[in-house]
């Protein structure tokens, strides 16, 4: 048998019409619904015909194991021929399904079975936790002994399993140091925090509608889905690649200012390497696994592996500490749940700036944590995501909190607003302290951006050491830091913010330094083209010319749709005066653009001020719009 097991909030079906092999049913079975159930999609195979009874028994055993893991006593059996290309005869398939149903009922499960051989519509809501999607292949061996083949089962780390079982104690910590349970806290004036708290506690990760940024990323020709790849792997068009590159360069430069040395490490590793295997089980993420040259490999989900293996081989003195290394992973891979994948919010392949800091002791680690906490606030602010745009979560063990309470309260005072606290009685992961800055979007879903963690395990696991002042070998403490979070997620947050601003009556736009076109020059007619080229040639920033055979009105509307920050229209008046008439997007309101007469030099000064201190790249497309292809 082939079975796919989905732990679901609910599953419901309705029969539409029968096929020639449909089993006879009464009206009560033409519709069905089950709440809080393990839904088991089943294909009975040709090989099961040798011993239907035995196949049903072993399948029941596997189902029971999963129900114990996900803690449910409800099972929906759903015939699903699409799981196999070698199907049993309809008669024996129905017999197997009925035997399986009987075995589960005898084991005191509440069981429903969807009818075999009917065209059905169905709706299912997957819970989206680490064990909510599993598959099994069951085969009969030569001795009639069933072998359960688990190659198709997703690789799930012990940390993810622990996370699913961990008991979290949730609180709100105020800047005054007051620690309150969520039900005791007054959320008045903290609507975003309330949404974030609900999202975190209920862990509803699946997305049931398309968020605003998906339409925007396509309309702005930044990014799109790639149907030729696995879900969660995106294509980026020239404008999107430009935005990504600018963000990447900016974050790397900020890390370099902190003394981080840039390195590069492989994207795949041996799953059976003794050190890496242990770490895999301590990291709460799903892996992509591949087989090559008789080795089981996995694609990295962060730069930890390579940097730690590099640290192991280094000679490090206490004088070198704190020692920082950074890598821009293009890409990191995490096999996220399919129901959670949407747009740029949650991807399976993403670009992660990953910095690690080796510290001499816990006091040094706490000091670095505080410094990097403030760095992350500044990095997001410069990107265009301010403290008002995200909520803070701080997660730690009870022991760490009791020993460092004043430090935790000072973190809250720094952001000057209440934050969500997650407290554990025991340590499930490799870290004792972690913070995240979480962007809450228009769909009330939260996505982590910046994060820093204090790691107390991996120096020992990887054999990382330094020589202390007395000549002895010591283990450092390690900080994991992503100053911005995934680059793609920063773009998601900027687009979602722009969309929400639009709902508030604020003209949507990207920060000028990230805008693919910073200045657009629009000649009124062909005779003004020479002057338009002269203006464009004297401009700073990324400049283009709308030389298409369109009306001026349409050109201006198209520039607005592309969120161009400065649009300079040149006609007879501008040619005579030697100036330009500029629409300033940041100072406009919907349907009422602000038009300002200025000189080219004045516009240059404005653009230069907007982009000062940021990385710069040339226009990724032709200067003339008429020469550009359409990507979407």
Q: Are residues 217 and 361 in the same domain?
A: yes
Residue pLDDT, tens place only, 65-109: 999 888 899 999 999 988 887 889 999 999 999 999 999 999 999
Q: Are residues 64 and 207 in the same domain?
A: no
CA dist., res. 505 & res. 485, Å (int): 29
Tokens of residue 275, six digits: 């050190």
Residue 585 CB-density burial (10 A; 0-12 exposed, 13-18 middle, 19+ buried): buried
- Helix/strand/coil for 339: helix
Q: Are residues 260 and 355 in the same domain?
A: yes
Domain of 564, CATH number, reads 3.40.50.800
Q: Are residues 271 and 244 in the same domain?
A: yes
Q: Are residues 360 and 381 in the same domain?
A: yes
Domain-terminating residue out of 153, 180, 211: 153
Residue 423 gets which letter from DSSP? E
CA dist., res. 616 & res. 540, Å (int): 11
Q: Are residues 233 and 195 in the same domain?
A: yes
Ranges in the chain, pLDDT < 50: 142-154
Residue pLDDT, tens place only, 357-404: 999 999 999 999 999 999 999 999 999 999 999 999 999 999 999 999
Position 166 scores a pLDDT of 63
CA distances from 232 to 206, 226, 487, 491 (A): 14, 8, 14, 15
Domain-terminating residue out of 153, 169, 201: 153
Q: How many CB atoms lie within 10 A of CB 69?
A: 17
CA dist., res. 448 & res. 410, Å (int): 21
Asked whether residue 533 is domain-assigned, the answer is yes
The sheet with strand 566-570 has its strands ordered as 543-545, 519-523, 566-570, 580-584, 595-598
Q: Are residues 479 and 620 in the same domain?
A: no
User: CB-based contacts of 334: which residues, under 8 Å, 6+ apart?
Assistant: 285, 286, 287, 288, 301, 348, 350
* Closest CA relative to residue 6, chosen from 121, 122, 95, 108: 122
User: CB-based contacts of 467: which residues, under 8 Å, 6+ apart?
Assistant: 315, 316, 317, 318, 473, 474
Position 290 scores a pLDDT of 85
Position 130 scores a pLDDT of 66
Asked whether residue 541 is domain-assigned, the answer is yes
Asked whether residue 503 is domain-assigned, the answer is no
Tokens of residue 21, six digits: 């092999």
Tell me whether strands 110-113 and 74-79 are parallel, antiparallel or unpaired: parallel
Domain of 136, CATH number, reads 3.50.80.10
Asked whether residue 134 is domain-assigned, the answer is yes
Position 128 scores a pLDDT of 74
* Closest CA relative to residue 124, chosen from 6, 222, 203: 6
**Sign of the dihedral through C-alpha 418, 423, 429, 430:** positive
Radius of gyration (C-alpha) of the chain in whole angstroms: 29
Domain-terminating residue out of 440, 469, 495: 495
Contact call for residues 337 and 132 (beta carbons, < 8 A): yes
Q: Are residues 76 and 210 in the same domain?
A: no
Asked whether residue 500 is domain-assigned, the answer is no
Q: Are residues 475 and 531 in the same domain?
A: no
Q: For the chain, give the number of residues.
A: 632
Helices (H) and strands (E) in the chain, counts: 17, 29
Asked whether residue 277 is domain-assigned, the answer is yes
Q: How many CB atoms lie within 10 A of CB 501?
A: 13
Position 592 scores a pLDDT of 85
Position 107 scores a pLDDT of 92
Q: Are residues 149 and 166 in the same domain?
A: no
Domain of 100 in residue numbering reads as 2-153
**C-alpha angle 534-539-540 in degrees, rounded to nearest 5:** 160
Position 281 scores a pLDDT of 66
* Closest CA relative to residue 52, chosen from 100, 101, 115, 4: 100
Q: Are residues 291 and 385 in the same domain?
A: yes
CA distances from 589 to 391, 506, 508, 560 (A): 28, 6, 10, 12
CA dist., res. 376 & res. 368, Å (int): 12
**Sign of the dihedral through C-alpha 179, 181, 182, 183:** negative
Asked whether residue 632 is domain-assigned, the answer is no
How many domains, the chain?
3
Asked whether residue 506 is domain-assigned, the answer is no
Q: Are residues 563 and 439 in the same domain?
A: no
Domain of 276, CATH number, reads 3.30.930.10
């Amino acid at each position: 048998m082939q079975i796919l097991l989905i732990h679901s909030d609910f599953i419901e079906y309705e029969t539409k019409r029968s096929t020639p092999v449909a089993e006879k049913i009464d009206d009560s079975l033409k519709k069905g619904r089950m709440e809080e159930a393990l839904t088991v999609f089943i294909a009975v195979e040709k090989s099961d015909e040798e011993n239907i009874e035995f196949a049903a028994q072993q399948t029941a055993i596997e189902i029971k194991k999963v129900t114990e893991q996900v803690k449910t006593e409800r099972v929906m059996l759903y015939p699903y021929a699409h799981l196999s290309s070698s199907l049993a005869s309809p008669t024996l398939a129905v017999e197997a399904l009925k035997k399986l149903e009987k075995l589960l009922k005898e084991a005191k499960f509440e069981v429903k079975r969807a009818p075999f051989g009917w065209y059905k519509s169905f709706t299912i809501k997957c819970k989206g936790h680490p064990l909510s999607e599993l598959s099994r292949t069951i085969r009969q061996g030569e001795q009639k002994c069933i072998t359960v083949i688990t190659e198709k089962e997703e690789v799930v780390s012990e940390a993810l399993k622990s996370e699913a079982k961990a008991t979290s104690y949730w609180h709100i910590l105020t800047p005054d140091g007051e620690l309150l349970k969520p039900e005791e806290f007054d959320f008045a004036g903290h609507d975003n925090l309330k949404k974030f708290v609900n999202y975190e506690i209920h862990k509803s990760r699946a997305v049931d509608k398309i968020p605003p940024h998906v339409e925007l990323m396509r309309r702005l020709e930044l990014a799109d889905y790639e149907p030729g790849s696995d879900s969660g792997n995106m294509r980026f068009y020239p404008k999107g690649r430009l935005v990504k590159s600018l963000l990447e360069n900016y974050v790397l430069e900020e890390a370099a200012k902190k003394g981080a040395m840039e390195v590069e490490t492989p994207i795949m590793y041996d799953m059976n390497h003794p050190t890496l295997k242990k770490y895999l089980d301590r990291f709460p993420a799903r892996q992509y696994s591949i087989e090559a040259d008789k080795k089981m490999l996995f694609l990295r989900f962060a730069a930890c592996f390579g940097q730690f293996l590099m640290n192991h081989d280094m000679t490090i003195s206490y004088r070198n500490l704190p020692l920082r290394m950074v890598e821009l992973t293009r890409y990191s891979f995490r096999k996220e749940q399919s129901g959670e994948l949407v747009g740029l919010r949650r991807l399976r392949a993403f670009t992660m700036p990953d910095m690690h800091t080796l510290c001499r002791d816990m006091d040094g680690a706490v000091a670095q944590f505080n410094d990097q906490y403030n760095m992350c606030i500044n990095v997001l602010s410069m990107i265009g995501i301010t403290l008002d745009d995200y909520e803070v979560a701080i997660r730690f063990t009870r022991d760490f909190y009791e020993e460092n309470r004043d430090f935790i309260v000072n973190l809250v005072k720094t952001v000057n607003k209440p934050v969500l606290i997650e407290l554990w009685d025991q340590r499930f992961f490799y870290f004792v302290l972690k913070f995240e800055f979480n962007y809450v979007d228009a769909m009330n879903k939260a996505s982590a951006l910046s994060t820093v963690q204090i790691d107390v395990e991996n120096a020992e696991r990887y054999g990382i050491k330094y020589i202390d002042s007395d000549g002895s070998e010591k283990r450092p403490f390690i900080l994991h830091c992503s100053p911005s979070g995934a680059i793609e997620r920063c773009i998601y947050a900027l687009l979602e913010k722009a969309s929400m601003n639009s709902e508030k009556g604020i003209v949507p736009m990207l920060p000028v330094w990230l805008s693919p076109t910073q200045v657009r020059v629009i000649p009124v007619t062909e005779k003004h083209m020479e002057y338009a080229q002269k203006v464009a040639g004297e401009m700073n920033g990324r400049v283009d010319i709308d030389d298409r055979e369109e009306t001026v009105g349409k050109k201006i509307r198209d520039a607005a749709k592309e969120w161009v920050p400065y649009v300079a229209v040149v006609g007879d008046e501008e040619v005579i005066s030697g100036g330009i008439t500029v629409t300033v997007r940041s100072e406009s309101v919907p349907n009422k653009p602000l038009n300002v007469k200025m000189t080219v030099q004045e516009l240059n000064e404005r653009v230069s001020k907007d982009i000062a201190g940021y990385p710069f790249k040339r226009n990724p497309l032709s200067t003339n719009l008429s020469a550009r292809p359409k990507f979407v």
